[in-house]
């Protein structure tokens, strides 16, 4: 089913927080729990009382949020490469999850140019390995595979992408995620729907927030450069992206899982992003970040350095708003401010887990609908 925004697309929808009552005691398989987004999600699931089994390769960055926040103490943590189909299938069988949240991926565009085969193997075959393991599961009711906002064929027409737009991908990362969307649809239609498993894909990207130290990402690169007293090198200051705080898409994934549990017919693809008015060029994001952080020099490039990257990207989020009750809570200025404050406070000695907990609590009350 292709979702077509109706006449209510621009009207306010009641914000719905992820429900601790729903997640408490649920058995969750979370892949990619050692990564930036995965660590945040593991913290949030633990906060709500879920029983989480994490599956991932060891942390790739140093420092990293997984180790700083003690994620391995909050869940059953297993190091496993999702390209190993037998090992992954064994973990799925042993953990008997009710909900699967698949975040494990090779997620960096520039790395994908250097290592295309690893990118394709991880993002396409790794996803297929997981979904194939679910064919034999008697416990799984809901599975969500996180892809990216870059799955669309981007002709630089400067309009937001809807879930029904053609898939594509110039760089290996984008292409691998677009291909994984086809794999997801195939497993849903050929196998999982008839077994009662509601399978969805979640398309979000350009996520920022405290605790990301990955290479070739804008804010982590800024933090590293400015803490060393060196200028940040910005290749494409004019590039426009749908920036959002990490809690925005994570809230969407959780709400999507809740909705699919009760209404499996909602299975499909969903965009998660900021309001279209909040899509902004890299230059604006860095100027906001520098203002909050209080220091930092920048060398602005002219867009000619490095391999091709899309110049403009934005998402239409009417579907997630109408069907899931999910809308952005923090605007760009709030998102950047909270992100930079997190790094500043962590550098001053505050605990990473406590900073994340504080942001989660603030996010939950942002629309006047607190849950604990």
pTM of the model: 0.93
Tokens standing for residue 309:
């990257």
Q: What is the pLDDT of residue 350?
A: 98
DSSP string spanning 100-141? EEE--S---HHHHHH-HHHHHIIIIIHHHHHHHHHTT-SS--
Reported as a single tens digit per residue, the pLDDT across 144-154 is 999 999 999 98
Pairing of strands 280-281, 240-241: antiparallel
Residue 320 near residue 272, CB atoms below 8 Å: yes
Residue 304 CB contacts under 8 Å (≥ 6 apart), including other chains: none
Backbone angles phi, psi at 36, to 5 degrees: -60, -60
Reported as a single tens digit per residue, the pLDDT across 154-183 is 887 778 999 999 999 999 999 999 999 999
Backbone angles phi, psi at 270, to 5 degrees: -135, 135
Rounded Cα–Cα distance for residues 55 and 256 (Å): 21
220: part of which helix (H) or strand (E)?
helix 218-228
Lowest average pLDDT, out of 14-18, 264-268, 342-346, goes to 14-18
Q: What is the pLDDT of residue 17?
A: 84
Residue 305 CB contacts under 8 Å (≥ 6 apart), including other chains: 235
**Helix, strand, coil % in the chain, rounded to nearest 5:** 45, 15, 40
CATH architecture of 20-364: 3-Layer(aba) Sandwich (3.40)
Reported as a single tens digit per residue, the pLDDT across 70-111 is 999 999 999 999 999 999 999 999 999 999 999 999 999 999
Q: How many CB atoms lie within 10 A of CB 20?
A: 14
Q: Using alpha carbons, list the distances in angstroms from residue 173 to 106, 165, 180, 210, 310.
A: 8, 18, 11, 24, 12
Give exposure, 168-197, as e/b (b: 16+ Cβ within 10 Å): ebebbbbbbbbbbbebbbebbeeebeeeeb
Q: What is the pLDDT of residue 8?
A: 37
Domain-by-domain residue ranges, the chain?
Answer: 20-364
Q: What is the pLDDT of residue 205?
A: 78
Q: What is the pLDDT of residue 3?
A: 56
Residue 349's pLDDT band, with cuts at 50, 70 and 90, is: very high
């Amino acid at each position: 089913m292709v979702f077509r925004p109706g006449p209510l697309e621009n009207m306010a929808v009641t914000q719905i927080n992820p429900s601790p009552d729903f997640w408490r005691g649920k058995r969750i398989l979370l892949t990619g729990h050692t990564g930036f987004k995965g660590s945040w999600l593991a913290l949030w699931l633990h906060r709500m009382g879920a029983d989480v089994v994490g599956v991932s390769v060891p942390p790739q960055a140093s420092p990293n949020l997984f180790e700083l926040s003690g994620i391995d103490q909050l869940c059953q943590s297993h190091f496993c490469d999702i390209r190993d189909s037998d090992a992954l299938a064994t973990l799925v069988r042993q953990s008997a999850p009710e909900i699967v949240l698949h975040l494990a991926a090779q997620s960096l565009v520039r790395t994908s140019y250097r290592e295309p085969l690893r990118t394709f193997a991880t993002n396409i075959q790794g996803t297929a390995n997981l979904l194939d393991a679910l064919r034999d599961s008697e416990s799984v009711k809901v599975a969500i595979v996180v892809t990216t906002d870059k799955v669309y064929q981007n002709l630089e027409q400067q309009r937001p992408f809807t879930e029904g737009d053609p898939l594509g991908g110039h760089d290996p990362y984008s292409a691998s995620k677009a291909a994984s969307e086809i794999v997801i649809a195939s497993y849903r239609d050929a196998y999982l729907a008839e077994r009662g498993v509601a399978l969805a894909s979640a398309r979000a990207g350009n996520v920022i927030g405290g605790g990301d130290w990955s290479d070739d990402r804008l804010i982590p690169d800024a933090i590293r450069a400015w803490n060393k007293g060196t200028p940040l090198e910005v290749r494409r200051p004019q590039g426009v992206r749908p920036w959002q705080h990490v809690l925005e898409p994570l809230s969407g994934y959780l709400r999507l899982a809740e909705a699919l549990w009760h209404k499996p017919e909602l299975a499909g693809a969903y965009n998660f992003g900021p309001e279209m008015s909040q899509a902004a060029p890299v230059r604006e994001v860095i100027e906001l970040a520098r203002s909050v952080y209080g220091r930092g020099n920048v060398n602005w490039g002219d867009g000619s350095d490095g391999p091709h990257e899309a110049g403009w990207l934005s998402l239409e989020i009417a579907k997630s708003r109408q069907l899931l009750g999910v809308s952005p809570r923090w605007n760009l200025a709030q998102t950047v401010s909270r992100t930079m404050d997190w790094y500043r406070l962590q550098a001053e000695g505050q605990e990473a887990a406590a900073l994340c907990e504080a942001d989660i609590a603030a996010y939950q009350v942002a629309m006047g609908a607190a849950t604990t």
